[in-house]
Amino acid sequence: PAILLPHLTLVVSPLLALMKDQVDFLKSHNIPAASIDSTQSREESNEIIQGVKTGQIKILMISVERLKNERFREFIKQITISLLVIDEAHCISEWGHNFRPDYIKLPDYQKQFNIKQVLLLTATATANVIEDMSREFSIDKEHIITTGFYRKNLNIIVNPSIKSDKLNFLGHYLNSHQGQATIVYVTLQKTAENICNWLRQNGVIAEAYHAGLKNDLREQIQERFMNSDNHCIIATIAFGMGIDKNNIRHVIHYDLPKSIENYAQEIGRAGRDGESSNCLLLANENGINILENFVYGDTPELSGIKIVLNEIKQTSNIWEVLSNPLSSQSNIRLLALKTLLVYLEIKGIIQSKYSYYAEYKFKFLISENDIIQKFKGERQVFIQAVFQHSHKAKIWNTLDFEQLLKNYPTDRQRVIIALDYLQENGWIILENKQMTDVYQVLNNQFDINILATELYEKFKHKEQAQIQRIKEMLTLFQSSHCLSKQLSHYFGDTQLTENCGHCSVCQGNYQIWPEAIENLSINPVELRLMTSKLNDAIMSQYAQPASIDLCCRYLCGITTPWLTKVRARKLGDFGRYEHYGYAEVYRVLGAKEQQ
């Protein structure tokens, strides 16, 4: 519809790689599309902005975070938008497998920019998620279209494998299917590197891909994979969202996926050309603890929630939040902090107003006087005032918004538009820093202990729902019934009434999974010794002992802002118990604490 509609189509997408691939695809079909992202030069961004203003660009792709940029919001307000498209729209649902708090604000942006039509797209929505999506955007039931989930060319194979056999099995399998594009999914970055090195030594063309690699290297690896038919990528879930390669013949899960939804998304990258493709799971239960530990790591401590509530309690009206400092102060990961703020909005404690950059800096490309002379009358006086209220260093000038707005009759919006105009004309280079989220405090007359406990229980409920999702995944994979039919029914597609005939169960290859290798029993004294260095580091940095929860995260290899601050990875025992269950480590540490 974007080509037929009279004005711009604005597409919100979750990943830069995904946008890049989609823009390249659209351009290859002579559709005028572009994206704005942080990797672009000022010249590239300005060229795209001009293309949108003149109507030459019909489709503009952005990340959801771009909408927090006040300069972008001021620009897009001036553009008539025919359609808002939200890709991976399941991110708006708290019950989805990839909840993104920033997506919650998209309905407000739709109203703010006066966009009449919206299109939500997702390939992995359950009934609860569809209900959330339609409610948030006021979409009537008759406007919800569900296409079939089942793809007859995908062979879903569950191959129970004991841990010690998996690597040899993988090497044999890949050598038997040389010359075919393959993705092998693993849970941990170090697993990706280790498997990649082993495969190379055994004659398989392979590369590792994960979030620990630099952006430019990841782009090169992805490019090589896209342009080759015999490439094998060993990847964490960081790989794949931006991939639209139609001849991927094999998607292999060396480790268990995070959920049924993640699994469906990942195998969905296979066989897009319609040719037969294998989706192979090397199955055992040994990686479950690591998956569950990732879930536990996203639940903030009760003490951290109290720190955030105390900040609100001390604010009477407007609360300005710098996410990174608040995350460090409260020891709550950024995503969990964003989720906490959404919970507080839902409870009517705070209301999101807008976001802005606390710092604007610019440097002159032509002289200050030459710029001033380009304007007349009040506009000239206004530009002079902007320059006069900027602190001048050797190269950069930092604008003092507070003094400017106090001494000159203008508003922040006009100043930002003016600075953008100066940059668009090549007269200055503009930089902005310190994204600040502004909230109005609607109610600070709460009891911190009661509200913190209530919010903590909400996180614990979400945590248990995620753990249950892992259990549901195991139940599906261990089933003796048609796997394709069960997957389809999970996503509400009941069109497949007969067994598929080509999954491993239908092919008669159902096997009982091997028992998980039991970990050695945990020595409580050893645990206390292992956490003594951490306790000293936390006491030195934060003047308080490390909590049981923080010690557990340290031993299970779960990062937090405080652990990052004290460089926990260098203390010696970070992640020593990553293959153990968080709950088990917590129980032993807690019992030792009570003695």
Based on the domain organization, do 132 and 169 belong to the same domain? no
In 116-235, the DSSP E strands lie at: 117-120, 154-160, 181-185, 206-209, 232-235
Left if phi > 0, otherwise alpha if psi is -120 to 50, otherwise beta: which for 331?
left
Residue ranges in the chain modelled with pLDDT below 70: 17, 240-242, 592-595
Query: Where does a domain end: 111, 143, 175?
Result: 143
Residue 546 lies in a domain: yes
Based on the domain organization, do 12 and 45 belong to the same domain? yes
Which burial class, exposed, middle or buried, applies to 373 when counting CB atoms under 10 A from its CB (0-12, 13-18, 19+)? exposed
Residue 9: HSE in the Cβ half-sphere, 13 Å Cα cutoff: 21
Query: For residue 592, what pLDDT is reported?
Result: 53
Based on the domain organization, do 486 and 556 belong to the same domain? no
- Count of the separate structural domains present in the chain: 3
Alpha-carbon gap, residue 224 to 581, rounded angstroms? 38
For residue 405, give the nearest of 360, 352, 372 by alpha carbon.
360
**Are the beta carbons of 262 and 294 closer than 8 angstroms?**
no
DSSP 595: -
Grouping H, G, I as helix, E, B as strand and the rest as coil, residue 253 is: strand
Residue 302 lies in a domain: no
Residues belonging to the chain: 595
Alpha-carbon gap, residue 260 to 282, rounded angstroms? 15
Based on the domain organization, do 14 and 139 belong to the same domain? yes
Alpha-carbon gap, residue 28 to 25, rounded angstroms? 5
468-527 per-position pLDDT tens digit: 999 999 999 999 999 999 999 998 888 888 999 999 999 999 888 887 777 778 888 888
Alpha-carbon gap, residue 524 to 593, rounded angstroms? 10
Residue 333 token pair:
């990961």
CATH number at residue 64: 3.40.50.300
Torsion angle, alpha carbons of 120, 126, 127, 128, to 10:
-90
Based on the domain organization, do 139 and 164 belong to the same domain? no
Residue 268: HSE in the Cβ half-sphere, 13 Å Cα cutoff: 21
Based on the domain organization, do 252 and 127 belong to the same domain? no
Query: For residue 585, what pLDDT is reported?
Result: 92
Based on the domain organization, do 88 and 123 belong to the same domain? yes
Based on the domain organization, do 19 and 131 belong to the same domain? yes
Residue 345 token pair:
């909005």
Residue 167 token pair:
């690597």
For residue 19, give the nearest of 48, 54, 50, 55 by alpha carbon.
48
Cross-sheet strand order for the sheet of 277-283: 154-160, 277-283, 248-253, 181-185, 232-235, 206-209
Based on the domain organization, do 272 and 162 belong to the same domain? yes
365-405 per-position pLDDT tens digit: 999 999 999 999 999 999 999 999 999 998 999 999 999 99
Residue 423 lies in a domain: no
541-581 per-position pLDDT tens digit: 999 999 999 999 999 999 999 999 999 999 989 999 988 88
C-alpha 301: how far from its chain's center? Answer: 21
**Degrees to nearest 5, angle at CA 29 with 28 and 35:** 65
**Are the beta carbons of 559 and 550 closer than 8 angstroms?**
no
Looking at 368-429, list the stretches that DSSP marks H as alpha helix, in order from N- to C-terminal side: 368-372, 377-388, 401-407, 412-424
Give a three-class secondary structure readout of 290-341.
Answer: HHHHHHHHCCCCHHHHHHHHHHHHCCCCEEEECHHHHHHHHCCCHHHHHHHH
Which residues, 6 or more positions from 129, have their beta carbon under 8 angstroms from its beta carbon? 90, 93, 95, 96, 122
Domain that holds residue 235: 154-286+466-490
Grouping H, G, I as helix, E, B as strand and the rest as coil, residue 88 is: coil
Grouping H, G, I as helix, E, B as strand and the rest as coil, residue 34 is: strand
Find where tokens 């010794």 sit: 529
Alpha-carbon gap, residue 561 to 231, rounded angstroms? 37
Strands 232-235 and 181-185: parallel
Question: Which pairs count as long-range contacts for 190-197, CB under 8 Å and 24+ apart, including other chains?
Answer: 191/254, 191/255, 192/234, 192/235, 192/236, 195/167, 195/170, 195/234, 195/254, 196/234
Based on the domain organization, do 134 and 158 belong to the same domain? no
Based on the domain organization, do 182 and 106 belong to the same domain? no
For residue 299, give the nearest of 464, 429, 544 by alpha carbon.
464
Distances (CA, A) of 99 to 86, 102, 105, 504: 14, 9, 13, 32
Q: What is the Cα gyration radius of the chain?
A: 27
Maximal CA-CA distance, the chain: 84
Left if phi > 0, otherwise alpha if psi is -120 to 50, otherwise beta: which for 501?
left
Residue 222 lies in a domain: yes
Alpha-carbon gap, residue 587 to 226, rounded angstroms? 47
**Are the beta carbons of 554 and 563 closer than 8 angstroms?**
yes
Residue 545 lies in a domain: yes
Query: Where does a domain end: 143, 175, 197?
Result: 143
Query: For residue 595, what pLDDT is reported?
Result: 47
Alpha-carbon gap, residue 330 to 309, rounded angstroms? 10
Query: Where does a domain end: 143, 172, 196?
Result: 143
A 10 A CB-CB count for 256 gives 24
DSSP 251: E
Residue 37: HSE in the Cβ half-sphere, 13 Å Cα cutoff: 18
**Are the beta carbons of 104 and 69 closer than 8 angstroms?**
no
Based on the domain organization, do 120 and 195 belong to the same domain? no
- Give 62's strand partners: 12
